[in-house]
């Protein structure tokens, strides 16, 4: 594995970094202060992202995306991750690659408009009683002639307020497995405005201000069978096939924020004076910086190795779980230490550190908690021994 960047990768990193610094950073204070992202601003930045070739860059070339390999895609995600999450996720959108699992008709209706910036998607899995245990979901869909009828509630659904449709996972039956009875899951396209489908305002979140969540309610919501994504009862197979790299994306954006926080800490330690010398000369500060840099390097190497394996077709769940676990916990460590180095100024909103510190907290929860990642890793260690 070559850790050096190709000329193309350097160009993508430089282009993305310049876009983030020039087009996203200037709006962070407004979004953090108001907790909202104005649609006029979304459209303005979206147009610039499309012009720069950064929009929907996660998609294959044959459908209008950039066709990046996983390593290059994560370098791009790392640079975007340095900015306020709402700004980069909404304005420089990456449509969910689960849309690639659709039929030709579904791609025309949902995928291509998302790639062109005409529509937004959202993914609805989590429920009030089913977070890490998705098989425990209670929201269900039953067949009724040529239709399915959906009932139940989803919550914590990111940016559902602006999404034009939801890719929604519903229980559609049960099956007997060696570990007991499990729910069969089916994925559906549900258009906003469909009778029986309601989007309600979600919860105020300490992390990622401006990046909203919503509650979705389904009350005898009737859909044609053509709304099924993939096959009936095969929703988990669809999700596992097409959402596999999501944990690596989370890892990459965490690396970006950790790098930004470390940069501020190093600069401050080099210029701030106390007791007649730069504070970076005190081991209490310099050793913190050394530990921060080392942890960041370790997290980046884990993530880049997993990305390389993904492209080689040899990646395992454990590889991706290790990357996600290490990167998210490293971000929390670096954000906290960066604030400690800055002292009181680290908690002021003149700097991005208090935001990075707040935002870091959710990363150890969504897309699989740190406990779930540890379960996956330990399971691979123990299963060969029959434990």
What six digits make up the tokens of 302? 């884990």
Q: Which residues of 240-259 are buried (b: 16+ CB within 10 A; e: fewer)?
A: eebbebbbbbbbbbbbbbbb
How far apart are the C-alpha atoms of 32 and 37, rounded to whole Å? 9
Q: Which of 7, 337, 367, 380 is catalytic?
A: 367
Q: Which helix (H) or strand (E) holds 259?
A: helix 246-271
How far apart are the C-alpha atoms of 31 and 24, rounded to whole Å? 10
DSSP for 24-37, please give it: IGGGHHHHHHHS--
Helix axes 246-271, 353-363, angle to 10 degrees: 150
How far apart are the C-alpha atoms of 172 and 234, rounded to whole Å? 10
The yes-or-no answer on residue 271 being catalytic is no
How far apart are the C-alpha atoms of 120 and 331, rounded to whole Å? 28
3-state helix, strand, coil split of the chain in percent (to 5) is 55, 20, 25
Q: Half-sphere exposure of 106 toward its Cβ, with a 13 Å CA cutoff?
A: 21
How far apart are the C-alpha atoms of 316 and 306, rounded to whole Å? 8
Burial class (CB in 10 A: 0-12, 13-18, 19+), 275: exposed
Write out the catalytic residue numbers.
367
């Amino acid at each position: 594995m070559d850790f050096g960047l190709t000329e193309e990768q350097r160009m993508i990193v430089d282009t993305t970094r310049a876009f983030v610094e020039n087009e996203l950073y200037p709006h962070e204070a407004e979004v953090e202060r108001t907790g909202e992202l104005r649609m006029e601003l979304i459209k303005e930045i979206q147009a610039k992202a499309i012009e720069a070739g950064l929009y929907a860059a996660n998609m294959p070339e044959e459908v209008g995306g950039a066709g990046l390999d996983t390593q290059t895609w994560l370098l791009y995600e790392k640079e975007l991750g340095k900015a306020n999450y709402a700004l980069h996720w909404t304005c420089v959108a990456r449509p969910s690659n689960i849309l690639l699992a659709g039929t030709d008709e579904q791609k025309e209706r949902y995928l291509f408009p998302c790639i062109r910036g005409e529509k937004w998607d959202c993914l609805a899995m989590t429920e009030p009683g089913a977070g890490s245990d998705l098989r425990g979901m209670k929201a269900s869909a039953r067949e009724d002639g040529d239709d399915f009828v959906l009932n139940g509630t989803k919550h914590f659904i990111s940016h559902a307020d602006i999404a034009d449709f939801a890719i929604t996972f519903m229980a559609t039956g049960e099956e007997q497995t060696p570990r007991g009875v499990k729910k069969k899951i089916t994925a559906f396209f549900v258009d906003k405005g469909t009778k029986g489908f309601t989007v309600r305002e979600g919860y105020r979140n300490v992390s990622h201000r401006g990046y909203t969540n919503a509650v979705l309610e389904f009350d005898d919501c009737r859909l044609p069978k053509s709304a099924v994504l993939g096959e009936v009862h095969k929703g988990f197979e669809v999700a596992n096939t097409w959402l596999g790299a999501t944990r690596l994306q989370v890892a990459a954006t965490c690396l970006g924020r950790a790098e930004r926080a470390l940069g501020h800490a190093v600069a401050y330690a080099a210029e701030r004076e106390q007791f007649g010398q730069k504070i970076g000369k005190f081991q209490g500060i310099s050793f913190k910086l050394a530990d921060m840099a080392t942890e960041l390097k370790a997290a980046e190497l884990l993530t880049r190795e997993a990305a390389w394996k993904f492209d080689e077709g040899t990646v395992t769940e454990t590889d991706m779980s290790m990357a996600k676990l290490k990167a998210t916990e490293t971000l929390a460590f670096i954000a906290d230490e960066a604030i400690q180095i800055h002292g009181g100024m680290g908690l002021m909103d003149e700097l991005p550190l208090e935001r990075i510190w707040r935002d870091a907290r959710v990363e150890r929860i969504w897309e699989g908690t740190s406990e779930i990642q540890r379960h996956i890793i330990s399971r691979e260690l123990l299963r060969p021994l029959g434990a």
